Structure formats: C-alpha cells, structure tokens
Structure 1
Amino acid sequence: MKIARLGEPGLEVPVAITAGPDGVERSYDARAVTSTIDGAFLAGGGIDKLRAAAARGELPVLAGAAALRVASPLARPNNVVCIGMNYAAHAAESGAEPPTIPVVFLKPNNTVAGPFDPAPIPPLSAKYDWEVELGVVIGREASYLASVEEAASVVAGYLIANDLSEREYQLPGAAGQWTKGKSLPQSTPLGPWLVPASDVDANTLQLKSWVNGEPRQDSNTADLIFDVPTLIHHLSHYMLLEPGDVILTGTPEGVALSGRFPYLQDGDVVELEITGLGRQRQQFFRAGTAAPTPPPAATPTATTAPAPAPLKGA
C-alpha cells in the first residue's frame, strides 16, 4: 500500500493506492478513515486502519485521481530533522571528513512542497542545489530510546525528499549559516507517496537524481554512514521525536557543490527516484517570475517516464 494526498492546496484528499481484485493499482478515497494524513493519523494506528479498510473493499475509487495535483503525503510535518554528510563520498565532495557522530540541523516545516510543484529559485540565488534523500516518517513519540532496536519500531514509513539548498547562504564567509541556506520557500518537496515501514527494506534502496535528463546521483542506502535506527536512537537523546516528524537521512555524492555540475538555473528540470518510493519532478523558475505550468495528470500510481541510464562509477 502507498499513501498519498491529491488535490490543490487546501483541498487535498487522502488516498490509499493499492491493487484491486483485478490486480490493477488504483487510488482509493480514504476519507472514510481519516480527513488527512498527519501525526495524529499515524499515532492513532491510521496506517493499519487504512490497510484494513482497503482490504475489506470499504474505500471507493477516487474518480479523476490521475488528473489531480500530487501533494506532499503528509499534510504538514511537525518537524523536519536533517542529517548532514551521511554518505562518505558526499562528505568528501563537500571538502569534509566523514563525521563520527551524526551532523544534525532543522528545516522549517513551511518549506514542504508537493513532489511535482514548480520550484522557485530565490531571487538573489547563484548556487541553488538539489539533494535526493530518503525521508523517514516517525509514527509514535520517541525520547531517550534504550536501543537501536527500539528506535526501528517508531518508524511509520518512508518517502522521497529533495533537500534543496542555497550553498552561498549556507556555507562560505561570516554570513554562511545552514539555517539560511536550508529554509527557503518550497525547498523540501516530499512524496509522491508515504510507504509503510513494513513494506520497505530501508537498507537497500537505490537513490538517483537527474538534471535535464542527465544523471547526477546514483547511490544506495547501504552506503549510509549512520543507518535509520542509529539516527533515530541518537536523535531521541537530544530532542523529542513526535508522530509526523520527518527525518531526512542525508544525500549521496553528485550535487552541484562538488564542482562537477552547474547549479540550478531558471527552466531546469530535476527528477529524483528511490526504489519503491516513486519519483519526483520539479521544474525550476526564478522567484518573482511566472511559475511554469505543472505537467498534466502527474499520477502517483506509476512513474510517468522511463528511468535514465544510471550514473557510471557512482
């Protein structure tokens, strides 16, 4: 099962995407179970209730689902907790040594956007960068967890994230601050789906990104320095994790910060993909100019284009 939200901002409908009796995957209206997908839904056992309702055939097919905007699967995360330099090769291309403890920072939850929404480049930005990341959605409260095994049990599900970053604001000089470079409007596209944790092996997921059809990132979560349970266990000793929080686990090598690729420009198209979690696509525009029209009928039930060839040597 995949969980999504479809519709224009403020009018999103929660859906369960699953195969019907004929084996065809469809979007089923989940409003009989919940009005939205948020922390309260997750904490109240919403995923199990939704799965059970779908299995009993109690959810109607959502008419016209394929033509609706795909929103973030979560209505609005409580917190977006980010991990920096969690792939050794990315740390190296950033000019840093691999960390020995997790590097942690926060993004405002008002940066969250839909996975196909047009993406604004800040008006004065010269170094806007992409980052494909595995996102972890917390399903129950976690504080001072005793073990990594206990930490694994608090995961509700997984999704794709693009941790868009303005490097000139983030890094160099006296004014360089991670919060400034990571807090820009619509800089955290999430989705298209939230996939329940029981349906995902987070240790073997392939992450890829492309810019204008050209491969950029191609790595695997097996290369994470700190895996998901280790991150959750660590974070629980420094903050209260709540249902609906999202943890972004870091990006692999292949971003513009490496110096191998140009930064994002007006009109560029970024695509991101993680095995089993779907695909994102954003067209970029300079903030203050007219946003491009999103691609028609961007359905979350399947990817709309064949995957480009993988990046060799990554």
Structure 2
Amino acid sequence: MDPQAGTNRRAVTEFILLGLVENEELQSVVIVLFLFAYLVTVGSNLSILAAILVEPKLHTPMYFFLGNLSVLDVGCITVTVPAMLGCLLSHKRTISYEACLTQLFFFHLLAGMDCFLLMAMAYDRFLAICRPLTYSICMRQTVQRILVAVSWACAFTNALTHTIALSTLQFCGPNEVNHFCCDLPQLFQLSCSSTQLNELLLFAVGFIMAGAPVVLIINSYIHMAAAVLQIRSVEGRKKAFSACGSHLSVVCLLYGTGIFNYMRLGSEEASDKDKGVGVFNTVINPMLNPLIYSLRNSDVQGALWRVPVGRWFLT
C-alpha cells in the first residue's frame, strides 16, 4: 500500500470561501444586511415558538409542526450565516476540511428535515379538511411525534450519506469554493477524483427527498381543493384557501430552489445564480416562513403579546 495515499487524499486541509462579493464596500453592506436578517429570523422564530408553548389554544397538531419548523429555520440560518459573518469581519475566508464537512452535514440534515416536515404538514391539512370527523384520532399526539421522528431519521440518513460519500473524494487543489458556504455542487467541482458516483447518488437521493414528498403534497392539495370548493360558506372557503396557499408558497420556494441547485450539475464553474439560490435557501426562506405561516394569524398575534420579544415584531 502506498504510504502517501492518505496524504494525497487530504492534500487540501482547508478551503477558501470566496463569498458573495469581492468589493470591500459591498462586503460592509452584506454584513449589515445578513446580520439584520439573522437577528430578525432568530427573533421571530423563537418568539413564535415561545407563543406556541405558552398559549394553550395553539397546542394543536398544526402549531406543533409550525413549532418544529421554527426550530429548523433557526438552525438552518445559524449553520451558515454566523460563519460567513465571522469570515467577513475577520477578513479570513478559510474553513478547515473538517468544519466544511460538518457545515455541509448539518445544512443537509436541516434542509432534509424541512422537506419531510412540509410533507407531514400537508398530510395534517389534508386530514383537517378532507377527514374532519376522524382528524383528532388520525392526528393524535403519538402520530405527530412519529411523523417528526421519522422525518428526523430520514433527514439524518440523507445528510450522513452525502457527507460520507464526499469524504471519499480526493481534493488536491485548487481549494477556492465559489460560494459563501460549503455545499455539494461547488465541492464536486474541486475534487481531483471522479464525482460520477456522488452525482448519481445526489440525483437518486434527491428524487426520494423531493420527488416523493412533492407527489404526495400535490395529491393532498388536489383532494383539498376539491373539498374546499364544496364548502358553501364564502368565508370558510377563503380561510381554507388562505391556509393552504401559505403552505403551498413555502413548498414552492423550498423545492423550487432545491431542484434548481442540485438537479443541474455539470457546469465547470459555479455561477452567481448558485449564490442567489444559496441565499434563498439559507436566509430568505427561514426569514419568510414566520411571516407566511404565523405572524398574520390572529391567534398567534394574540399569543405573541404575552412574549416580550414577540411584541417587537407586531409593532
């Protein structure tokens, strides 16, 4: 066995994250905007989570899933933004090989959990609208916990699979990642070994992670639309469509950006569009979710007045 094999595999011990912009003046603007987005996202999601915990009226399956979504949003933006801000403030853009893989693992863990949680939320709305008489039995607390636990297990398996597969690749240089965080498409382009199996794995797992939930979500919404149209009350139809529309908009944002980012591998260089998609996935989506789902809800607004931090978001 060649004693240099292990060394060659790890010739690159750190990566250089090129970030969003190179101009120093624009970097200051990026720091301010991303810090503001981070504080708003963490504050709003934690306020909603606190409101759900303190308000008995919100102890329902829908808000149980929304509370989990708030935790995911805080985790997703925390995995990437603080590290990026630290690099910009310290003018040190390097990230170690181990830290890069750790960031990648947790990002895919949380993003994967997001995919399955949205499917569980669609199933919850389907039962509430199409099976109202059996809703309390079908969506009892045990079922809610099982859905969340299975979602975590599937997301963990997905993240671990990609992380282990990436660790088998050789990186001999260059080590400049044209992104503000570590992600699969950009790292594939830096590998000096074949990434064909990794790309096939990404497509196969991506089809399971995105394809199956999308099919089930679409099927649920077809049945829900048919059921809502049978509601005689105009106000009832409006309320049902509003709730479904909020969920569907989040689904389109998450799956649309995910498909664009991971299902079109093969380009030699990462484009600025990839960075824009990355901003959507890691910053904009977690920041919009509280507004889309909860902050417009009168029950949540009432509960937020009991949470000191939450009052700031309502004024």
Q: Higher helix proportion, which one? A: 2
TM-score under structure 1 length normalisation: 0.22
Between 1 and 2, higher relative CO (CA 8 Å, sep ≥ 6) is seen in 2
Q: Higher strand proportion, which one? A: 1
TM-score under structure 2 length normalisation: 0.22
